[in-house]
Amino acid sequence: MKLWRRVTERLGSLPASRVTWGLVILFSVWVLLDVFVLKLTGGLAQSSYDAMVRGRIFVAAPDPRIVIIDIDEASLARMGKEFGRWPWPRDTLATVLDHVERQQPQAVVWDILFSDVDRLSPGGDAAFDQAASQSRHSHFSVVRLPGSNDGASHITAQALPGLWLAPPIAPAKPATVAMIPPALPAVAAGRLGYNNGYVDSDGVLRRYRYLERLSDGTAIGSIALSVAGSVSPPAQQEILKRSSGALKPVDELIAWRRKAGAYEHLSFADVFAQAEGDKPLVPVPGFAGKIVIIGSTAPSLHDIHPTPLSSMQAGVDSLATVIDNALNQRAMRELPRWLQAVLAIALCVGLALWVKFKSAASLAPALLVLPAMLLGISYLSLNGLPFFIDLHLAAGLALLFLAVLRYWSTLRRNHWCAPLADAGQSIAIWPWERADAWLEAPLDRLIDALEQHAPSCRIVVCDAPPSGLRWPELARFAAVVGPQAALLAARPQLEPALRRLALRCAEPLLLSAAPDRKQMANDVFSAWAVLQSTASGND
């Protein structure tokens, strides 16, 4: 306990400029390490970002062209009576594909993998392979394996041409890509796109990767980019333009809709019944001009992951969202990490300059207001702007910087308002009166003056309780107390600064002997009484 008291006394005695600029340097180093190396502040940013997304006021409406044919739990139960557990024979999928294709949709997107042959029903595979070869609107999903495995793969653009974006120049040594390829020939020859969800460190999906560049300069596209290329080529070109020149994969923030299940869902069992000529339980609308996504929301099929909207969002709904964003060019860009660091450091410098020309006490209202304002700017940017202005780091840094500064200001006032440690044989008491109380801001300015001109002196002032001033009449008085020689020598430099803070002063009271604490209090009150009587006489 004594050690901690000595440490706090030492901290309180440090000059204000050294502390504030030392904090600026310390926090700047921390910001640079955090942004470029450690990346430890992501958790706070992620959780508050998710809350902002859920609380948005302005949200883009879902594209009415997008409809999901949903392999939901009800479809699994209804069709399980005839076809057993999932996966069903693929001729069921072929029946639905033929039915949708006849109605001329804009795209049929398969959020289903065809990576294995069906050995129990080879006829179903043959039926689907034929339907896929005749489909003019289908886009099929593949799974991209980690890029570190690319060197061990034998899959090139020649094997899966529908996955590669057309390169400007044929590479001399084609790159290989690690992935789980389709097992059916017609699917492998069709339009392909990887359908990976790259989640953040906390397992939540917030970003989407539309394409990946390979070592030979070529690129492979996601299934959302594949759909954009066939439905709206200008939208695909816009995505390619945003990713041009980027050597590393570019993961863009997803512009989410209002809720997790925002798009129209049709039960697969109902669509299958209509395709078979039976009557569905619920009327099934037409698919002409639609972008049809076939996937599953059934929890038992495990295509579920957390997003900012829901901890149990179906992957097919997330796929619908990124396709919608691609087609309608709803890009949500982010501030570069280096710019976030610059803004955070600039904020620290601004706070330090404020303390230099004002006072640390004047920043007390900013302790909560400033971080709230910065987070408010971040929130507003999510409501329609193409940029998410991420100020989470600056807001957290401002809160911590102000809290540390406020704590040090308390230590500083404790140091300068403490009794004299060794006053010698004679001291002087110089009383001052303000128009209002010596609260934190004017007291800090008085301390600044003593720190510069009379470091051996101290201040006597009536402390204000946390509940507020009970006797503001007494709180208007303060006294500078110190060794006579030091105080009188510093008086010419101190007086101009103190007159800017106070109304009047009396001549210093000179004491021939150093009093104890009780006697010091009596002497200070006597000096204040003389000051008050002098002021009353002048009035």
pLDDT by position in tens, the chain (length 539): 678 888 888 888 888 889 999 999 999 998 888 888 877 766 557 888 999 999 999 999 999 999 999 999 999 999 999 999 999 999 999 999 999 999 999 999 999 999 999 988 999 999 999 999 999 999 999 999 999 999 999 999 989 999 999 765 667 788 899 999 999 999 999 999 999 999 998 899 999 999 999 888 889 999 999 999 999 999 999 999 988 877 688 899 999 999 999 999 999 999 999 999 999 999 999 999 999 999 999 999 999 999 999 999 999 999 999 999 999 999 888 888 888 889 989 999 999 998 888 877 788 888 889 999 999 999 999 997 788 998 888 888 889 999 999 899 989 999 999 888 765 678 999 999 998 888 888 898 999 999 999 999 999 988 766 556 667 778 889 999 999 999 999 999 999 999 999 999 999 999 887 778 888 889 899 999 888 887 665 65
CB atoms within 10 A of CB 91: 18
Q: Which residue segment(s) compose the domain that 32 sits in?
A: 15-55+333-412
Residue written as token pair 């006697």:
519
| Residues 295 and 426 both lie in one domain | no
Q: Where is the domain boundary, 388, 412, 436?
A: 412
Residue written as token pair 């890509």:
177
Is residue 5 in a domain?
A: no
Is residue 524 in a domain?
A: yes
DSSP code, position 246: -
In the chain, the amino acid numbered 399 is: L
- Give every CB contact of residue 538 below 8 A, 6+ residues apart in sequence: none
Alpha-carbon distance values, 135 to 114, 115, 132, 323, 537 (Å): 16, 19, 5, 20, 104
Distance CA 536, CA 539 (A): 5
Q: What share of the chain is helix, strand, coil (3-state, %, to 5)?
A: 50, 15, 40
Is residue 192 in a domain?
A: yes
What is the torsional sign of CA 504, 510, 514, 515?
Answer: negative
Phi, psi of 505 (to 5 degrees): -145, 165
- In 3-state terms, what secondary structure has residue 455? coil
Q: Where is the domain boundary, 298, 327, 356?
A: 327
Is residue 210 in a domain?
A: yes
| Residues 352 and 247 both lie in one domain | no
DSSP lists the bridge partners of residue 219 as 165, 213
| Residues 21 and 74 both lie in one domain | no
| Residues 235 and 211 both lie in one domain | yes
Is residue 10 in a domain?
A: no
Phi, psi of 23 (to 5 degrees): -65, -40
Is residue 286 in a domain?
A: yes
Distance CA 475, CA 29 (A): 41
Terminal Cα distance for the chain, rounded: 51
Is residue 44 in a domain?
A: yes
DSSP code, position 36: I
Asked if 82 and 306 touch (Cβ cutoff 8 Å), the reply is: no
- Can you give the CATH number for the domain in which 472 is found? 3.30.70.260
What are 457's two structure tokens? 């002196």
| Residues 245 and 197 both lie in one domain | yes
| Residues 84 and 227 both lie in one domain | yes
Is residue 7 in a domain?
A: no
| Residues 364 and 287 both lie in one domain | no
Alpha-carbon distance values, 76 to 68, 86, 260, 276 (Å): 16, 7, 21, 17
CB atoms within 10 A of CB 54: 13
| Residues 407 and 496 both lie in one domain | no
Predicted local distance difference test score (pLDDT) of residue 83: 94
DSSP lists the bridge partners of residue 253 as 207, 332
Among residues 436, 432, 465, 466, the alpha carbon closest in space to that of 449 is found at 432
State the total domains in the chain.
3
Q: Where is the domain boundary, 412, 442, 467?
A: 412
Asked if 66 and 323 touch (Cβ cutoff 8 Å), the reply is: yes
Distance CA 304, CA 394 (A): 33
| Residues 391 and 432 both lie in one domain | no
| Residues 224 and 96 both lie in one domain | yes
| Residues 424 and 282 both lie in one domain | no
| Residues 42 and 85 both lie in one domain | no
